[in-house]
Amino acid sequence: MQSWITDTMSWPCPLCGGAREFVQPPCVDGHTEDGGECPEWACADCGTAMLIGVALVAAAPVQQRQVA
């Protein structure tokens, strides 16, 4: 079971210049109305909104560790 959806995620924030905690604000665009995921996340520090798509998340090594 994939469980990458959490209340907070850590991503590099372009404004803060480093990894920051991102929170997902309530979706106002109807992304979640059909059971989808809202791609909008906001930096908890500076409030910068970022669109983080599922493809990006899927490409990130969340749980699978690949040792070269």
Using CB under 5 A as the criterion, what x/- string covers residues 47-66 for binding Zn ion?
A: -x------------------
Radius of gyration of the chain (CA): 13
Percentages helix, strand, coil for the chain (3-state, rounded to 5) are 10, 30, 65
Using CB under 5 A as the criterion, what x/- string covers residues 4-23 for binding Zn ion?
A: ---------x-xx---x---
Say how many CA atoms lie within 13 Å of 30 toward its Cβ: 0
Tell whether residue 36 is a contact of Zn ion (CB under 5 A): no
Tell whether residue 38 is a contact of Zn ion (CB under 5 A): yes
- Strands 49-51 and 18-23, by their bridges, are unpaired
Interface with Zn ion (CB under 5 A): 13, 15-16, 20, 27, 29, 31, 38, 40, 43, 45-46, 48
